[in-house]
Chain A
């Protein structure tokens, strides 16, 4: 069975600074996706970034980037130039692939609450 662990329940960062959220996972699968989701106070789940396990290049989306270390089973999220609107809970998630594609099943970590301070 796969597990996802986020060891930082809460973090804070000053506006315009950089912060890194940690995520580790355990799996015996070789083909999978990793995701970071953002959940602001509105409760809506928003996809921030995704990484395909077979790609060595780290994914980036504007101010968001990941450090994917497949051998170490680590998938951290770096937020650069933090903004007040980044205040939210962030979830790391794992999804294995089966056969030709998407299984649809997400396994989530416990979440990290990030507060961006002015």
Chain B
């Protein structure tokens, strides 16, 4: 299993440009999410999805769109990039099934991250 994959690993954009960060997982997880990591602020939830066709906003959704057409993929779109979106972005997935006591219950699997710079 590849786990959670993200592309690209690095990206530089100019203000106003658009782009899509890709995220895929091969573990059949129903739950997928996007976080951004900023110095001194930890990771903050942008958007999440509990299954194909279902998405919802997290703590910091403004400026980002998501869609979930398949179980495997959960892309994050920046429609008009701003310098405030300079950050490291992580995709994560987990299963909402299972019970306490199972070894990987509640474990979130994270992708390797994308470092985005908006000039």
Contacts and interface: CB of A to CB of B under 8 A. Distances in A.
Contacts of A52: 100
B99 A47 contact: no
B56 to A, nearest CB: 10
Contacts of A108: 35, 42-44
B26 interface: no
B119 to A, nearest CB: 21
Interface string A102-116: 111111111100000
B108 A106 contact: yes
Contact of B94 (A4, A102, A110, A111): A102
Interface size class of A (residues with CB under 8 A): 20 to 34
Given A52-B100, A104-B94, A110 B45 contact: no
B110 A105 contact: no
Contacts of A43: 88, 112-113
Nearest to B95: A102
Interface in B60-94: 88, 90, 92, 94
A96 to B, nearest CB: 11
Contacts of A4: 42
B41 interface: yes
A44 B107 contact: no
A107 B58 CA distance: 10
A104 B31 contact: yes
Contacts of B25: none
Nearest to A95: B106
Given A44-B112, A45-B110, A47-B107, A105 B42 contact: no
Interface of A: 4, 6, 9, 33, 42-45, 47, 50, 52, 91, 95, 101-111
Interface of B: 31, 33, 35, 40-45, 48, 50, 58, 88, 90, 92, 94-100, 105-108, 110, 112-113
Given A33-B106, A102-B106, A110-B41, 14 more contacts: A45-B108, A47-B108, A101-B96, A103-B96, A104-B94, A104-B96, A105-B45, A106-B43, A106-B45, A108-B43, A108-B44, A110-B40, A111-B40, A111-B42
